[in-house]
């Protein structure tokens, strides 16, 4: 059985107090509690402060391009669907530059676990508005305030019948750990949007801001009711629900490919001689 330290990577260069530390802690605890060893999982990230996540943990990792996390994760998962594939992305990364990949990953229902460090800002590039920054927010490069409505990732996900839709908060570590475990256990694509205060560049969405708004979704809430889930997903203001908003049991993309149903591609014998008879027909 693995220990927390087994998942420890390089010393993070995140700012002191960054919400990313809590995400890392919850991740390690969740992996240990799920009985996973570092060599058994693969993490893919994009680019951003969130994209540095794989530098600071220990397991199989791949640091991809800004916005392009999900295609890489999908390729990995198709090559070896016996291995849990986790994608860590930023809000700019995944909801902006790479937004269309998210839409198609949700449609396919590939069993990739997506964790979005949603700090409502571009952190790495030093504080520009991201797709989740509230309309009107004044920033260094948005002197007249953000002029577009924010993207609501969870409403988008429910609308697309994404098979697991949840929100966590970096300031509520135990709860977040539980959500990570649920996302991992779910069969199919999982989106966990994690509210992650950026203490340096986002002076609006602070720990206090989130703390006074976040509440645990009621225990009697039924996450399998899509219409109700859509309503829940629209709640983002004075009150912000955290927990599992929506879940369904669609068949996964992997399930739909008979060739890999029994054995992952990577474990299948690759024997060209099997083609010989077919090729000979063309001689």
Calculate the alpha carbon distances from 91 to 81, 83, 85 in Å: 26, 25, 19
d(CA 37, CA 41): 7
Q: From the list ligand TPP, Mg ion, other proteins, none, pick the one residue 144 interacts with, judged by a Cβ distance below 5 to 8 Å according to partner type.
A: other proteins
Single residue of 23, 110, 121, 129 touching other proteins by CB under 8 A: 129
Tokens for 175? 């709860």
Smaller CB separation from ligand TPP, 117 or 167: 117
Site for other proteins in 106-125 (CB under 8 A): 122, 124-125
Q: Which stretch binds other proteins (CB under 8 A): 103-111, 139-147, 153-161, 209-217?
A: 139-147
Beta carbons of 130 and 91 less than 8 angstroms apart: yes
Site for Mg ion in 40-79 (CB under 5 A): none
Query: Could you tell me where the beta strands, DSSP code E, fall in the chain?
Result: 42-45, 60-63, 85-90, 112-118, 164-169, 190-195, 214-216, 240-247
Side-chain half-sphere of 83: how many Cα atoms within 13 Å?
26
Beta-carbon contacts of 218 under 8 Å, excluding residues fewer than 6 positions away, are none
Q: Does 50 bind ligand TPP (CB under 6 A)?
A: yes
Smaller CB separation from Mg ion, 91 or 172: 91
Q: Does 101 bind other proteins (CB under 8 A)?
A: no
Single residue of 24, 58, 66, 101 touching ligand TPP by CB under 6 A: 66
Contacting residues toward other proteins, per CB under 8 A: 47, 63, 65-67, 96-97, 99, 122, 124-126, 128-129, 131, 140-144, 147
């Amino acid at each position: 059985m693995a220990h927390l330290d087994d998942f420890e990577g390089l010393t993070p260069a995140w700012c002191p107090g960054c919400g990313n530390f809590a995400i890392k802690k919850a991740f390690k605890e969740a992996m240990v509690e799920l009985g996973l060893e570092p060599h058994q999982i693969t993490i893919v990230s994009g680019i951003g402060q969130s994209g540095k996540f794989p530098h600071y943990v220990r397991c199989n990792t791949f640091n991809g391009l800004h916005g392009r996390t999900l295609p890489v994760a999908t390729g990995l998962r198709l090559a070896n669907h016996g291995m849990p594939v986790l994608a860590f992305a930023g809000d700019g990364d995944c909801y902006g530059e790479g937004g269309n990949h998210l839409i198609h990953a949700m449609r396919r229902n590939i069993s990739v676990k997506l964790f979005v460090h949603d700090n409502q800002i571009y952190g790495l590039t030093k504080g520009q508005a991201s797709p989740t920054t509230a309309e009107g927010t004044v920033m260094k490069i948005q002197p007249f305030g953000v002029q577009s409505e924010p993207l609501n990732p969870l409403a988008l996900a429910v609308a697309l019948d994404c098979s697991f839709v949840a929100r966590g908060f970096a300031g509520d570590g135990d709860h977040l750990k539980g959500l990570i475990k649920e996302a991992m256990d779910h069969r199919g694509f999982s989106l966990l949007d994690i509210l992650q205060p950026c203490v340096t560049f986002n002076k609006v969405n602070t720990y206090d801001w989130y703390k006074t708004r976040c509440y645990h979704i009621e225990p009697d809430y039924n996450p399998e009711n899509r219409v109700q889930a859509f309503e829940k997903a629209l709640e983002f203001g004075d009150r912000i629900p955290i927990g599992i908003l929506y879940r369904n049991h669609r068949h996964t993309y992997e399930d739909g490919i008979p060739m890999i149903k029994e054995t992952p591609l990577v474990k299948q014998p690759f024997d060209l001689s099997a083609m010989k008879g077919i090729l000979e027909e063309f001689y």
